[in-house]
Amino acid sequence: MSDEVARLLGVVPASVDGGNLTFTQGDLRSMFWIWKDPRDKSIFGWSVITYDAALHDPMERFGGMGIRINHPPPAGQVNPAAIPAACYPWPVSGKPLAAEVPAAIAQYGHPSLRFILDRHDLGLLLLADAPVHRGQVWSFTPANNEPGRLAQAILLARHAGDQDLEQAAMTKLRDRGEEPVAGPGNLFRMSVADWGRQYSRATGIDLSDLAGLKGKRPQYPGASSAGSR
């Protein structure tokens, strides 16, 4: 399957691991991910996950440092906020792929792989309040991980020295900080602080100023002294 996908894309992957093909784009890596339905092995799905190469390994236990790019199924539309289901028939040995598979890869493969432009763009997508559509494909940014994504954007900004990205993250943090999130008595800013503590421990990047968000009288950090992009 992976050889056929690479042929259809017309791009040589940097690496192949089972059903995952990884492509290099500057500081980013894009993984063309093929998975079988766990309940029905006769069907499969695919998506692209683009992540920051430098922060991927230390952030792997949190699901990595990236964004998943989804595309429409062969028939009908899907809720962009939902995880898409597997919808393509798995090829029988010795037989060609069903016609809808190469059609979908031809239509959505390259736009998905090229969806994220650079580290700054990745950071802005992490900050997005809702799925971002570019052409016919979109970013998967569920609301339930929004505080964690904001903490990731700050982490990425500090690692990259991207002051513009960090300022955008801090603006959103101040705007949304007092909103309730999952958990009794939990606020958006508190969840950001919790994620920041875990990310800092995993990467060694200083996010200690986010700790002040936990108290009843929160101390919102300003932009760091990191250099601009």
Per-residue pLDDT tens for 58-111? 999 999 999 999 999 887 667 787 877 778 999 888 788 899 999 999 999 999
Domains of the chain: total: 2
One domain for residues 60 and 159: no
Angle between the N-to-C axes of helices 163-176 and 188-203, in degrees from 0 to 180, rounded to the nearest 10:
150
One domain for residues 182 and 103: no
- Listed residue (139, 140, 115) closest to 28, CA to CA: 115
One domain for residues 94 and 108: yes
DSSP conformational letter for 145: G
One domain for residues 116 and 153: no
Mean pLDDT, residues 136-147 taken together: 94
User: How far apart are the C-alpha atoms of 154 and 96, rounded to whole Å?
Assistant: 46
Is 221 within the bounds of a domain? no
Is 33 within the bounds of a domain? yes
Is 37 within the bounds of a domain? yes
Please report the beta strands in 110-217, taking only residues with DSSP state E, as ranges in sequence order.
133-134, 137-140
DSSP conformational letter for 177: T
DSSP conformational letter for 107: I
Domain residues for the domain of 180 are 143-213
DSSP conformational letter for 191: H
One domain for residues 99 and 156: no
pLDDT of 121 strictly over 70: yes
Which residue, 98, 122, 140, sits at the end of a domain?
140
Return the structure tokens found at 124.
């802005």
Which residue, 77, 112, 140, sits at the end of a domain?
140
184: left (phi over 0), alpha (psi -120 to 50) or beta: beta
Residues near 122 by beta carbon (within 8 Å), at least 6 away in sequence: 28, 50, 51, 52, 66, 67, 116, 156
Q: What is the per-residue pLDDT across 144-201, written as a single tens digit (0 to 9) for each?
A: 999 999 999 999 999 999 999 999 999 999 999 999 998 788 999 999 999 999 999 9
Residue with the two structure tokens 């059903």 = 19
